[in-house]
Each structure stands twice: as C-alpha cells, then as structure tokens.
C-alpha cells in the first residue's frame, strides 16, 4: 500500500510539472488594456494547494522546473538557438517554480486548513519573491556571459596581430589554444612586467567580484594583488574600467586608460554589432528580412548602421529617437521617424524591434502593444532598455544581445582593439 501511494504521489508530481509547462504556452488577458498573464502562474499555485496539498518538500517545484526547462529549451533549440544560450535564457524562468514551491513549503506547513485570505497573501508573497529570484538569476547569468564576449579568438587575434607587427608579446592569465609564434610568450608570473612598454588588460578588466576578468586563465587573480605588482612605467590600458578598478590603480600610483571609452573603438564595434543583429533576426524570425517591418530605437552609432543594413536587405525601417536632429537624419536616409515619447499605441505593426538605447524604453505598456510573434532585440549595454520582468509576465522573450562583436566577429574585434591601442600610444608620444 505504501509503495502504491509513493508511486501515485510521484505520478501526480510529474503531471503537475507537465501541466504547468504546457500551460506556460498560453496567456490570459485581463480587464486592463495590455494586461496579460501566463496561465501557468494561475494554475501552479492552485495545483500546489489541491493535488499536492499534503507535500512538505519542494519536490513538486523541482520536477516542474525541470519540465519547464526541458520544454522551453527544446523550443529554443528548434528555433536555432545554441544550447548554452537557450539554457541561460530559460533557466531563470524554470527556477521560479522551484522557488515558489520552496517558499510555500516554508510559509505554509498545513495547506489543508489554511484560510483563503492567508492563501492569497502567501501566493502573492511567493510570486513576488520568486520573481525577484528569477530576475536576480537572469541578471547574474547575463553578467557571467558578458565578460566572455571578447572570445578566445578575439584575444588570440589581438596577441597574434601585435606579434606579427614585430612586437614581443607576453601573455598572463591567458591560456591560448594553439601553438605560439616565437614572439608570443606565455608567462605564469608578472616578474617581467618591468620590461614592458605597454600592458593591456582585458575587456572588461574586472569580473565584478574584485578579480581580473580572466576566463581563459588557469586561476583567479585578485585585482588588488595585480595592481600592487604592476610597475608604473609601462603604458597601462584596459577595457570598460569600473570605478573600483580605477581606484585600485590610483592607490598603487598607476594611470589606467580605458580603450573601450574611445570613439574609434565604439564606431568599429558598431559594425559587427549591426551585422550580429541582422544574423539574430534571420535566425529567429519566421519571415524574411525583405518586407519585414523593423523599428530601430535610437539613432546613434549602432542605430544608424543597423538601420542601413536592414534597409539594404529590403526591410521597411522606421526609427524612433528622442533628439529632433537624429530624427531629421533618419528621415533624410529615407526611414520613417517618430519621437520616443510617442511609442505607445503604434507598436503593433512591427515584426522586429531593435533597441540601442541603454535606458528604460520598452515598459509594460509598450511591450503589451507589440503584436504576437514580434522579435525584440536589445543591443544596449546593461541594464538594457527593456523591462524584462514585464516581458516575462507578458510571455515575451527579448534577446539581450551583449558583446556581439566578440561573438560574431571575434577576429575583427581583436584587431579593432589593436588599432585603438596604437592610436592611444601615438597620442601619448610612444
């Protein structure tokens, strides 16, 4: 009898996971304009306090999370997304269900006798905290992948290009995957830094936790120890230098220049970013770029190049910008133009929306106005311009395409850094 009860419980647990995963493909609309919520968010708590009311461990949440992850990852893979990207995209949403069940088990020890009022309060609290965990994990996974944006090929291209130009190049915390030319030397310590003319730190310099961003290294390198060992004579530069890293450098008498802040590098990176956006659109859209209605948000370096490339492929391109002169330039290029503060109410006709503005642009109301199946690409640096929590609740999966230069054209990205460093050295009199 106990064995039968055990297997019945396991079957119920699996059925809950499957039902919730399938329900997540459908959305309920509400009384307010633009309101939409996943059916799974409504069904899941009901199942937990009915079918699974006698459970005191979050095993239902674990099974549900796995079912959701498998289904959504499979859909992404079928759409052409890579496995790693699909897992990073869908894992936070799956973890939501595990967190929800764990919190419900913690807050409600007896689900049979709890009042409706208390259940409602617990549902709200579990939903709020689980969504926060979802967003925190999503942000963390994105930040883990972002330092890897300048890939192995990019660093290899930079090192090889410098060596081919006649320089003797020493690498540290950078395990290169192929045989090295004689002028490219791997170092395991910083003992020979005194002889260097220029020291190039990675992009970004910090991993966000006080360590050198060295995904290709064989161990962790604390930034405070690194800065203490670097000599002050060589020209020192790095990419996307944050305040803490700059303070560490200054505390050790070092001047750290940021090559990522240079306009020439920003322009060079805009080219592979725009091409990467076209590549993503071709992979994800079920229609051709030719004839597609495309909206570009922002008309700076990336916005201009992205608009030109989509237009060249036959897309019907519109541009939304805040500055009147940017809109004038867009219209001079033949694109439709609209002010950013007038987005609401006219987004429903686009097949693709590409954001290049690193500030909140697409909130709940704007996202709810998008037609079903509209692809949203966010090319802006963190935190991006899309309300990701609202998007998740609306069943929209925006792609925050960080670090495209290093992903789609790593060799070009490495060579662009080399050119920028040469210009900086020339300006400094080297």
Q: Are strands 336-339 and 36-38 parallel, antiparallel or unpaired?
A: unpaired
Ramachandran bin of 49, using left for φ above 0, alpha for ψ from -120 to 50, beta for the remaining angles? alpha
How much of the chain, in percent, has pLDDT values that exceed 90?
40
Mean pLDDT of 349-353: 95
Q: Name the average pLDDT for the chain.
A: 84
Phi, psi of 235 (to 5 degrees): -75, 120
Q: For position 183, what pLDDT does the model report?
A: 72
- Going by pLDDT thresholds of 50, 70 and 90, the confidence category of residue 344 is confident
Looking at the DSSP bridge assignments, the partners of residue 316 are 293
Q: For position 148, what pLDDT does the model report?
A: 43
pLDDT tens, residue by residue, 170-186: 988 887 665 666 777 88
Q: For position 112, what pLDDT does the model report?
A: 63
pLDDT above 90: residue 309: yes
- Domains annotated for the chain, with CATH where assigned, are 2-148 (no CATH), 152-261 (3.40.50.720), 265-408 (3.40.50.720)
Cβ-based neighbour number of residue 212 at 10 Å: 21
Q: For position 52, what pLDDT does the model report?
A: 66
pLDDT above 80: residue 114: no
Q: For position 102, what pLDDT does the model report?
A: 86
Which residue, chain included where needed, has tokens 């692809």?
375
Between 371 and 155, residue with greater pLDDT = 371
Q: For position 1, what pLDDT does the model report?
A: 43
- Going by pLDDT thresholds of 50, 70 and 90, the confidence category of residue 126 is confident
pLDDT tens, residue by residue, 57-108: 788 888 888 998 898 888 767 655 567 667 777 888 888 888 888 888 887 7
Segment among 1-10, 56-65, 194-203 with least mean pLDDT: 1-10
pLDDT above 70: residue 151: no
pLDDT tens, residue by residue, 26-55: 766 554 444 456 777 788 888 877 776 666
């Amino acid at each position: 009898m106990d064995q039968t009860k055990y297997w019945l419980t396991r079957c119920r647990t699996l059925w809950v996971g499957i039902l919730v995963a399938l329900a997540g493909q459908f959305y309920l609309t509400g009384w307010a304009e633009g309101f939409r919520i996943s059916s799974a968010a409504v069904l899941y708590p009901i199942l937990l306090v009915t079918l699974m009311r006698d459970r005191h461990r979050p095993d239902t949440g674990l099974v549900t999370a796995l079912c959701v992850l498998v289904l959504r990852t499979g859909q992404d893979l079928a759409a052409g997304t890579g496995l790693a990207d699909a897992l990073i995209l869908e894992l936070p949403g799956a973890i939501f269900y595990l967190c929800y069940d764990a919190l419900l088990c913690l807050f409600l020890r007896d689900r049979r006798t709890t009042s409706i009022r208390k259940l409602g309060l617990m549902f709200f609290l579990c939903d709020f905290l689980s969504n926060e965990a979802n967003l925190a994990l999503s942000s963390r996974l994105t930040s883990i992948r972002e330092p890897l944006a300048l890939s192995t090929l990019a660093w290899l291209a930079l090192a090889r290009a410098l060596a081919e130009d006649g320089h003797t190049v020493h690498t540290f915390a950078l395990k290169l995957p192929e045989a090295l030319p004689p002028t490219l030397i791997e170092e395991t310590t910083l003992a020979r830094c005194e002889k260097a003319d220029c020291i190039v730190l990675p992009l970004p310099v910090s991993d966000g936790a006080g360590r050198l961003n060295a995904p290709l290294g064989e161990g962790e390198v604390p930034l405070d120890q690194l800065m203490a060992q670097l000599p002050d004579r060589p020209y020192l530069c790095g990419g996307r230098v944050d305040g803490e890293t700059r303070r560490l450098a200054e505390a050790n008498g070092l001047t750290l220049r940021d090559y990522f802040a240079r306009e020439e590098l920003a322009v060079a990176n805009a080219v592979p970013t725009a091409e990467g956006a076209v590549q993503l659109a071709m992979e994800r859209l079920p229609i051709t770029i030719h004839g597609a209605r495309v909206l570009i948000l922002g008309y700076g370096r990336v916005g201009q190049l992205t608009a030109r490339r989509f237009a060249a492929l036959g897309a019907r391109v519109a541009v939304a910008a805040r500055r009147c002169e940017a809109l004038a330039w867009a219209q001079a290029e033949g694109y439709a133009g609209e002010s950013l503060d007038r987005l609401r109410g006219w987004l429903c006709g686009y097949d693709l929306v590409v954001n290049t503005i690193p500030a909140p642009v697409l909130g709940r109301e704007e996202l709810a106005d998008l037609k079903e199946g509209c692809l949203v690409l966010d090319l802006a640096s963190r935190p991006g311009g899309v309300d990701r929590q609202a998007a998740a609740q609306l069943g929209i999966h925006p792609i925050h395409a960080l670090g495209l230069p290093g992903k789609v054209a790593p060799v070009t990205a490495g060579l662009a850094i080399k050119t920028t460093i040469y210009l900086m050295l020339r300006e400094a009199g080297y």
